[in-house]
């Protein structure tokens, strides 16, 4: 099967059949592939081989081909991948061929930066509500158009926009309570910037971003600075 015969029906059928059997580490690499392909497309490149993608990403070409094979055959041996086509297929697989509404809890420095970031929407996400428990922040604007609301308004916003994704950008001591409110409101996925592990139901997916964890990972490979 070449790239031109991978229909949406076939893709949907493949995902339904294998969704539970695809390793999560493979799913985690797909957004990286998509980001790289979009950069290639922006550079005007129409075709890319697995070897070229691998060299850019530090991943073996065999691994890239194996990862993509879980979802079909998107390239043709000897000619590589059509960049625009593979971008569209990965967007469908990751379900970012639409825009997902997101709520953000925490309107501190980090929250303001996230709300003002203009790189979410063109990659499939839009912040539709920002919440905080500080009365001095409530009613102020964050980003271009969003007003900060009290936490009590979370359920209404989640229902109104059919939100399934939330970002937590609050201090660690507040994160568990905030996550409980979000789950009660119907949130199914949380991106957590607080430096702790949340205790949540099994059906709720959580991703953590803690820069210190990444720093500590890097320092393992460094030599200690012994200079005074």
Measured at the CA of 175, the angle between CA 174 and CA 178, to 5 degrees, comes to 90
Could you tell me whether strands 125-131 and 47-48 are parallel, antiparallel, or unpaired per DSSP bridges? unpaired
- Our count of domains for the chain comes to 2
Beta carbons of 165 and 191 less than 8 angstroms apart = yes
CA dist 120 and 100 (Å) reads 10
Characterize 25-38 residue by residue with b for buried, 16 or more Cβ atoms within 10 angstroms of its Cβ, and e for exposed.
eeeebbeebbebbb
Do 156 and 66 fall within a single domain? no
- The confidence score (pLDDT) of residue 13 equals 52
Q: How far is CA 120 from CA 28, 51, 125, 136, 214, in A?
A: 18, 29, 5, 27, 22
Question: Does a structural domain hold residue 155?
Answer: yes
169: pLDDT strictly greater than 80: yes
Question: Does a structural domain hold residue 219?
Answer: no
Characterize 181-197 residue by residue with b for buried, 16 or more Cβ atoms within 10 angstroms of its Cβ, and e for exposed.
bbbebebebbbbbbeee
CA dist 201 and 193 (Å) reads 19
Q: What is the mean pLDDT of residues 23-33?
A: 94
**Tokens 């073996």, residue?**
60
138: pLDDT strictly greater than 60: yes
Ranges 16-20, 31-35, 49-53, 200-204: which has the least confidence: 16-20
Q: What is the pLDDT of residues 85-118, one digit of tens each?
A: 999 999 999 999 999 999 999 999 999 999 999 8
224: pLDDT strictly greater than 90: no
Do 106 and 206 fall within a single domain? yes
- The confidence score (pLDDT) of residue 142 equals 87
Strand order in the sheet with 146-149: 141-142, 146-149, 125-131, 100-105, 165-168, 189-192, 205-208
Q: Which domain holds residue 205?
A: 100-214
Could you tell me whether strands 100-105 and 165-168 are parallel, antiparallel, or unpaired per DSSP bridges? parallel
Ranges 9-13, 45-49, 61-65: which has the least confidence: 9-13
Question: Does a structural domain hold residue 43?
Answer: yes
User: Of 70, 92, 114, which one is at a domain's C-terminal end?
Assistant: 92
> Is the pTM value of this prediction over 0.75?
yes
- The confidence score (pLDDT) of residue 72 equals 83
Ranges 10-19, 149-158, 180-189: which has the least confidence: 10-19
CATH number where 169 lies: 3.40.50.720
């Amino acid at each position: 099967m070449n790239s031109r015969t991978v229909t949406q029906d076939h893709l949907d059928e493949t995902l339904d059949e294998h969704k539970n059997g695809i390793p999560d580490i493979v799913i985690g690499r797909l957004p990286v592939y998509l980001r790289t392909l979009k950069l290639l497309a922006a550079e005007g490149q129409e075709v890319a081989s697995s070897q070229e993608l691998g060299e850019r990403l530090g991943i073996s070409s065999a691994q890239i081909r194996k990862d993509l094979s879980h979802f079909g055959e998107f390239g043709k041996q000897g000619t590589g991948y059509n960049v625009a086509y593979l971008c569209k297929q990965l967007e469908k697989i990751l379900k970012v061929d639409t825009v997902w509404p997101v709520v953000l809890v925490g309107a501190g420095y980090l929250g303001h930066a996230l709300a003002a970031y203009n790189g979410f929407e063109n990659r499939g996400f839009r912040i539709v509500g920002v919440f905080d428990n500080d009365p001095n922040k409530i009613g102020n604007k964050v980003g271009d158009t969003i007003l900060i609301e009290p936490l009590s308004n979370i359920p209404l916003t989640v229902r109104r926009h059919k939100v399934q994704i939330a970002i937590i950008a609050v201090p660690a001591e507040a994160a568990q309570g905030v996550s409980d409110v979000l789950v009660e409101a119907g949130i199914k996925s949380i991106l957590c910037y607080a430096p702790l592990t949340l205790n949540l139901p099994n059906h709720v997916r959580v991703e953590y971003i803690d820069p210190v964890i990444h720093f500590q990972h890097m320092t393992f490979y460094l030599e200690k600075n012994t200079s005074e």
